[in-house]
Structure formats: C-alpha cells, structure tokens
Structure 1
Amino acid sequence: MLNLQAVHHIAIICSDYQKSKHFYTEILGFKIDREVLREERRSYKLDLSLNGQYCIELFSFPNPPARPSRPEACGLRHIAFQVSNIESAFQELEMKGISPEPIRVDEFTGKKFTFFGDPDDLPIELYEI
C-alpha cells in the first residue's frame, strides 16, 4: 500500500501566461507563493496556493500543443473546487466576465455544481459543499 495522504498539487500548462496568471489570481483568488522565470526553457513557473495550501503549478512553454478536453477525451477530465454557496460563486464569476454553465444538481449526492473554462478552456467545476 502506498499510503497516499493527499493531493499535493495540480500542474497546468497555459498558452498565454499573463492571461492565465490573471485568471487564477484575480478571478479565482489564488495567492502567488513563488514566480520563477526559467530562462533556459523560456518558461515561467507560478506556484499558487488556496487558503494557505499549495495547489497549482502554472507553467508556460513556447508553443505548447493543444490537448483535447471535450467531449469526454481520455485523460484528466477537469479540476473541481468546493464552495459553500454555488449561487453566490456563480454570480461573482458572471460579474468578472466568466460564463458558467447552468447550475445542475448531482443526481447521487443532491449537491449543486457548475462548470466553466479557464483561458485555455480547461474545464473547472465548482461544487457546493
């Protein structure tokens, strides 16, 4: 048994570093822990945390290839974040120019959720807890 304890981080490669940096920090509210320019790779690495917990490594690379994400492509499907009030989060996204899908209800848990995309259309879910 590996005895896994928790998810350590999610790594995301973006096509437009400044746009994605703005999205994850100013729209979603992640805190920048460290930003490094790796000159030899012409690549940025941005470490982001949420409520004091390290969560996302945001990378930029010159001309990254596109990755199919919809409909139901094989591989990582989406990332999800929990919220306490889905309606409030939905309205805040709309005020910031993000258009989430209509709020749905999980047929097994009865909990509300919605999806929207990051600047590269990576599917992100908000799930009400």
Structure 2
Amino acid sequence: MQLSGIHHVALIASDLSRAKRFYVDLLGLRVLAENYREARDSWKVDLEGPGGLRLELFTFPGAPARPSRPEAQGLRHLAFATPDVDACRSRLAAGGVDCEPVRVDEYTGQRFFFCADPDDLPIEFYEVPPV
C-alpha cells in the first residue's frame, strides 16, 4: 500500500454561517461547492486552501458538541502552516477570535499559537519559513 497524502479533513459545524465566517472570511479558504443534502437535512461545503488543502464542512441536526477540554481521544487539533504567526494572530484577533499567546516549540524552535474554531476545535498556526 502506498499513500500519497491527506485528501481532506471533514469538520461538523453547529452553525454553517459562523464556520464559513471563520474558515472563509478569516482564514481565506475558498468555497469550491456548497450543497444541501435534503435526505440528511444537512449541508456539505467543500473548501480549498493553499498547497491543495481541502476541508469539508458539514452540518447535521442534533450533532453533539465535541469535547475539547479536557483533551479527549481522537483528533487533537488541526494545524495550519503560516510564514508569519504574528500577522495571522493579529488578523484573527481583529476578527474577534480569542487567541492564545505565541509560544516556541521546544523541539523545533518554531513559533506557534492556538485558537479555537466556532465549535471549539483547537486550531494551531505554526510558523514555517517560506522555501
């Protein structure tokens, strides 16, 4: 078996408008498709970002809240690479997102910070210098 990469990450949002404001308006991802699935009474929104990044946003009526704290088993967080954590943090803060302070990874020396998406999924922004 040979893997060639991660194809996409799927997220379930409690409020599609809030999720799109965060992922599209603040993070700059582009909407590729937006489909209402009547049989499931749910939306599926395909998003695209740099480097082939693909996110799928779903809504499902009555979906339970995700436990984020204390940390639970399963997906821990979603991390985005950025060449400038300070600019990224400033943009999010200006958009009303509560961001943790910038820290330094003790193993790599790279700078990073966390915030949460509208459904409290931890989101990390990790500084990776441009190549």
Range with bigger deviation, 104-113 or 47-56: 47-56
TM-superposed deviation, 1:68: 1.0
- CA deviations 1:16-54 (Å, max 9, x no partner) are 111112211101110000000001111000000002624
2:65–2:119 CA contact under 8 A, matched in 1: no
Greater percentage in strand? 1
Q: How far apart, CA to CA, are the structure 1 residues paired with 2:17 and 2:33?
A: 15
Which blocks of at least 5 consecutive residues in structure 1 are unaligned?
none
Please tell me whether the aligned partners of residues 66 and 119 of structure 2 are also in contact (alpha carbons under 8 angstroms): no
Instruction: Structure 2 unaligned segments of length 5 or more: list them.
Output: none
- State the TM-score, normalizing by the size of structure 1: 0.95
**Residue of structure 2 equivalent to 1:56:** 55
Is 2:4 aligned against 1:5? yes
How many pairs does the alignment contain? 128
CA distance in 1, matches of 2:103, 2:122: 15
Residue aligned with 1:8, SS = coil
Q: What is the CA-CA distance between 1:124 and the residue it aligns to?
A: 0.3
Q: Normalised by the size of structure 2, how large is the TM-score?
A: 0.93
Residues 1-129 of structure 1 aligned to structure 2 (within 5 Å): 2-51=1-50, 53-129=52-128
| 1:97 CA drift (Å) | 0.9
Identity of aligned residues (%): 49
SS at match of 2:19: helix
